[in-house]
Chain A
């Protein structure tokens, strides 16, 4: 298993090189002078030239590329044009918030999705099944940002019970420890629901199919024939095996999750990477945009790696195969 993981990690390195190359290419696709993207337009022309020289933007393209790779892979992302501080600082404070939101949404997606999918599979063909299928279809097809707005309309405006903006209240620092936990939790509910429900629907449908596959297997029939209680059949035998393919979905879902996070963070003013990139784009703050894009790519790659690890742990076949090899 260790060798399997090592191989996966080594494969990730050229991926990192690759995504920074792509970001470099996109930057230089821009019409006009790409250096203008890195310099505040207010600055005088002579000073622009000196900045250009300092940033190495007057070098030939291949040298710039090498420099770019070097700085990106060591985390030197330059300076934000609008916030007048290092890009790395901006991203460092935004990253944890996106991670928290993503994890919370993944939990919702996974738990709700598997639960609904399993129930659907067990009660196949009944009213419950059909209803959940319809509801799943609805949430699967809904635009994330619209769902976010409708949730705000319902739970922040009509019934003002949940906050609709930011990650914490203004007096967060003065609350007790428990108060702070509750405060963060309350702010997390609506955004993670908005982000997670759509994915949950997708997972529910997949889990249903996977569960039906498993339930049709011989060993399940054997277990039932042995007289085991139904609950044990489902929990101990069917579910674990049905979960394995679902885990592979997690890795695939990550890009979609982050796409959704961009929209949800914008609607909820959640201080994460999605909101940073949208603001930066609207303000033409290119250093931030490029670094942020790169970071998203890194997060997807890391997420896939983690999903691989998880898959490895859960699927005994891989462990056996590795052991025998």
Chain B
């Protein structure tokens, strides 16, 4: 194993080439890239204002046409624009909450794995307890107790999603702390914090990135579920989840309102799953899909 003090993530130099080489990873990367572009370039790409009620009386519930490629909804709003705008909302919320979850989980897992003993036992018991609840149930209860807002969503999604990461990081740290470079660091008089954050964790970055990518996929689904139930993004702000909820009443007559946001969510989640697996192949060759 590497004895360098500042280790790079395993396989980093050739990572990009390897991702590009791995079929799944390549597709995932491209798709995620497209999604990021969409999210960023929303105002340019969307043909209409997502909240504009274009002639509500005559234009509502109209099927896909050239003017409205994905049709219009109950208020005459363009579904395509709302789907695109929803991408920005969903990706934004998920990114922020995954960052929070990763940060929190890494911290807890690193401390537990490094110091071991009672602290580890207590922390991991806590993790086990929290993981005993279905995540959506925890989300619902938290979202109900506090007033719904986008920031609350980010916090609540982050607070319910860090447990798996902490277990992962703990495992990594447990392995890595037995390495000679850690002993060397201690002999040199480095403090625990410095060893942990400068020496051990950088070696664990790979699996953490994989976990983060896959967590994006899961978080997007959770946010959609919350918004669908009415406890996530509040209408009239467009989120895929609440658009699907809005289309539920006219499922047969105006199927486009519920179908297209769902497809958008599926494609997004697939992309992150593909990217995550491609990354996993890169960072952990043992689990390369055959």
- Asked if the two chains touch in their complex, CB atoms less than 8 Å apart, one says yes
List the interface of chain A (C-beta within 8 A of B): 15, 18-19, 22, 26-27, 29-31, 124, 137-138, 140-146, 149-150, 152-153, 157-158, 209, 212, 254-260, 262-263, 266-267, 277-278, 281-282, 284, 289, 292-293, 296-297, 300-301
Query: Would B229 and A19 count as touching, CB distance under 8 A?
Result: no
A293 vs B129: C-alpha distance when bound (angstroms): 13
CB of A142 to closest CB in B, whole Å: 5
Chain B residues contacting A15 (CB-CB under 8 Å) are 128-129, 132
Chain A residues contacting B128 (CB-CB under 8 Å) are 15
Chain B residues contacting A153 (CB-CB under 8 Å) are 251-252, 255, 259
Query: Would B141 and A293 count as touching, CB distance under 8 A?
Result: yes
A-B contact pairs, 14 of them (CB 8 A): A29-B145, A124-B290, A137-B274, A141-B266, A141-B270, A144-B225, A149-B251, A150-B262, A158-B252, A209-B289, A255-B132, A255-B134, A256-B134, A262-B136
Which residue of chain A has its CB nearest to the CB of B125? A18
Query: Would B141 and A142 count as touching, CB distance under 8 A?
Result: no
Query: Would B228 and A301 count as touching, CB distance under 8 A?
Result: no
Contact of B265 among A143, A257, A289 (CB under 8 A): A143
List the interface of chain B (C-beta within 8 A of A): 125-126, 128-138, 140-142, 144-146, 217, 221, 224-225, 228-231, 240-241, 244, 248, 251-252, 255, 258-259, 262, 265-266, 269-270, 273-274, 289-290
Query: Would B140 and A152 count as touching, CB distance under 8 A?
Result: no
Interface contacts beyond A30-B145, A137-B270, A293-B141: sample of 11 additional A-B pairs, CB < 8 Å, sorted by A: A19-B133, A30-B146, A141-B217, A144-B225, A259-B136, A260-B136, A263-B225, A263-B228, A292-B137, A296-B137, A297-B132
The 4 closest A-B pairs by CB, nearest first: A146-B262, A259-B136, A141-B269, A258-B134
Chain B residues contacting A258 (CB-CB under 8 Å) are 134, 136-137
Chain B residues contacting A292 (CB-CB under 8 Å) are 137
Which residue of chain B has its CB nearest to the CB of A298? B132
Main secondary structure, interface of B, reads helix
Query: Would B130 and A293 count as touching, CB distance under 8 A?
Result: no
A254 vs B265: C-alpha distance when bound (angstroms): 23
Known: A31-B146, A146-B262. A289 touches B269 (CB 8 A): no
Chain B residues contacting A297 (CB-CB under 8 Å) are 132-133
Chain B residues contacting A266 (CB-CB under 8 Å) are 229
Which residue of chain B has its CB nearest to the CB of A28? B145
Chain B residues contacting A281 (CB-CB under 8 Å) are 140-141, 144, 231
Chain B residues contacting A209 (CB-CB under 8 Å) are 289-290
CB of B242 to closest CB in A, whole Å: 12
Which residue of chain B has its CB nearest to the CB of A255? B134
Chain A residues contacting B228 (CB-CB under 8 Å) are 143, 145, 263
CB of A109 to closest CB in B, whole Å: 16
Contact of A277 among B137, B145, B258, B273 (CB under 8 A): B137
Which residue of chain A has its CB nearest to the CB of B137? A296
Query: Would A146 and B141 count as touching, CB distance under 8 A?
Result: no
Which residue of chain B has its CB nearest to the CB of A262? B136
